[in-house]
């Protein structure tokens, strides 16, 4: 006879729950909304949470939803579980019947799955508060994909006040289903962005000597930027400087007045992050001055680097072994230069961000994140639900 350990969901409950979570995910997938515009999504989530017992449901911001559950097994800690809910400006190319019904908008990062998993966890935990100490808060966060991000707004609204520990997850198509990445320390980079306007003096393409050509200046700036990473940064310290946009000119025989550049800077080390804009500006200033042009540099700090708390991560590793057992394999993974606004929660309390494998080569689930054919292996949703449930029950226990 198989006996459920205290942290496990019992097997009968599991099948019904699995179908429910998949149905929620598919509804969300069909109805994607862009960052800061998740009105229908938030209404859907709020309605589901209001059907569950024992939850106090509020809206910290216009399109985020918070549910609070008090445990009945005695005092303990306050745990925040987080899912993000926003979609991307991408035209979906998947042809399954639950493909996006909103033209040009698509859940291409798995946030539909995150939302469904956290709803599943809320259902399990609210159905049995006698097995829970302390307090669990479920935050369904808006706008992870678009700076300044929903996480900071939710933190500013007080959602983290009194929280002892925080857990977030991300489904990952490059990681096979059944693999879970729990990493202590640095996981995701700080992501900043910049826009530069190079102001020259336009004119006839046949008379460059009468112009200040911003196209040539842009070329110099882009090449000079390569040396910020290759010659000015400690090679053992991760860093990326990408110029991803260049716009200028209207015709082959017209030198334009201006060229604009845009890009992103990714770092882990706070000092390197601090130094990047000055280093870039020095080069832009020198180059434009040398050519008789001027510039504006707009540098925006984005999400902070994400560092997982070693203690929380170690506890969760144990929890995953006990609850998911042989159904999953655990990996430590490597840091990645991607960014996540989950780091905003980690400025208020320790916590950990877990990557859940959701790829499946045999089923053709291989498209990368933010791709028009992105999807997830729905078996991974089970792992997410169980992980959230087990993490909440364990982390809410009072510290020994």
SS3 155: helix
Q: In this complex, which beta carbon is closest to Ni ion, that of residue 147 or of residue 291?
A: 147
Q: How far is the CB of 338 from Ni ion (least distance, A)?
A: 8
Q: In this complex, which beta carbon is closest to Ni ion, that of residue 109 or of residue 155?
A: 109
Q: How far is the CB of 227 from Ni ion (least distance, A)?
A: 32
For the sheet with 135-141, list strands across it: 55-58, 65-70, 135-141, 78-84, 165-176, 351-359, 179-181, 329-331
Q: Which residue's entry shows tokens 């017992």?
A: 53
Catalytic, out of 84, 92, 135, 144: 144
Q: How far is the CB of 341 from Ni ion (least distance, A)?
A: 10
The set of residues, in sequence order, having a beta carbon less than 8 Å from that of 209 and lying 6+ positions away, is none
C-beta separation of 356 from 83 below 8 A: no
CB atoms within 10 A of CB 36: 18
Q: Which of 89, 124, 126, 101 is nearest to 26 (CA)?
A: 101
Q: In this complex, which beta carbon is closest to Ni ion, that of residue 84 or of residue 378?
A: 84
Q: How far is the CB of 102 from Ni ion (least distance, A)?
A: 18
Beta strand spans in 9-106 (E): 55-58, 65-70, 78-84
Residue number of the CB atom closest to Ni ion: 109
In DSSP notation, 36-58 reads T--HHHHHHHHHHHHHSTTEEEE
The residues that touch Ni ion, with contacts defined as CB under 5 A, are 109
Q: In this complex, which beta carbon is closest to Ni ion, that of residue 44 or of residue 303?
A: 303
Q: How far is the CB of 111 from Ni ion (least distance, A)?
A: 6
CB atoms within 10 A of CB 126: 19
Q: In this complex, which beta carbon is closest to Ni ion, that of residue 88 or of residue 159?
A: 88
Answer yes or no: 145 catalytic: no
Q: How far is the CB of 264 from Ni ion (least distance, A)?
A: 16
Catalytic, out of 84, 86, 164, 377: 86
Q: In this complex, which beta carbon is closest to Ni ion, that of residue 85 or of residue 216?
A: 85
Answer yes or no: 257 catalytic: no
User: Cα separations (Å) of 28 from 33, 41, 252, 318, 319?
Assistant: 9, 7, 46, 32, 29
Hey, which residues are catalytic here?
86, 144
């Amino acid at each position: 006879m198989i006996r459920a350990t205290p942290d496990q969901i019992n097997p009968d409950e599991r099948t019904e729950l699995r179908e429910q979570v998949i149905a929620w995910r598919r509804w969300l997938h069909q109805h994607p909304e862009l960052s800061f515009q998740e009105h229908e999504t938030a209404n859907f989530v709020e309605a589901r949470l209001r059907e569950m017992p024992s939850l106090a449901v509020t809206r910290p911001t216009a399109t985020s939803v918070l549910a609070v559950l008090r445990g009945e097994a005695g005092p303990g800690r306050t745990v925040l579980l987080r899912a993000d809910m926003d979609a991307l400006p991408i035209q979906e190319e998947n042809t399954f019947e639950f493909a996006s019904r909103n033209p040009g908008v698509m859940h291409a990062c798995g946030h539909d799955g995150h939302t469904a998993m956290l709803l599943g966890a809320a259902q399990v935990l609210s159905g049995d508060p006698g097995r829970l100490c302390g307090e669990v808060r479920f935050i369904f966060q808006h706008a992870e994909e678009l700076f300044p991000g929903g996480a900071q707004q939710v933190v500013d609204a007080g959602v983290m006040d009194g929280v002892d520990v925080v857990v977030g997850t991300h489904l990952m198509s490059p990681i096979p289903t059944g693999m879970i990445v729990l990493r202590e320390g640095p996981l995701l980079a700080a992501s900043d962005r910049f826009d530069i306007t190079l102001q020259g003096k336009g004119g006839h393409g046949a008379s460059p000597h009468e112009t200040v050509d911003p196209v040539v200046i842009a070329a110099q700036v882009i090449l000079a930027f390569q040396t910020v990473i290759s010659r000015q940064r400690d090679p053992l310290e991760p860093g990326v400087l990408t110029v991803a946009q260049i716009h200028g000119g209207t015709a082959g025989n017209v030198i334009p007045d201006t060229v604009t550049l845009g890009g992103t800077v990714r770092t882990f080390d706070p000092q390197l992050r601090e130094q990047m804009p000055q280093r870039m500006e020095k080069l832009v200033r020198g180059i434009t001055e040398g050519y008789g042009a001027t510039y504006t540099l707009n540098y925006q700090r984005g999400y902070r680097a994400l560092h997982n708390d070693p203690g929380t991560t170690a506890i969760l590793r144990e929890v995953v072994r006990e609850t998911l057992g042989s159904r999953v394999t655990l990996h430590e993974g490597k840091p990645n230069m991607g960014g996540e606004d989950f780091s905003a929660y980690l400025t208020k309390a320790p916590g950990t961000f877990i990557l859940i494998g959701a790829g499946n080569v045999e089923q053709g689930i291989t498209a990368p994140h933010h791709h028009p054919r992105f999807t997830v292996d729905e078996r991974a949703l089970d792992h997410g639900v169980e992980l959230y449930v087990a993490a909440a029950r364990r982390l809410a226990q009072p510290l020994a």
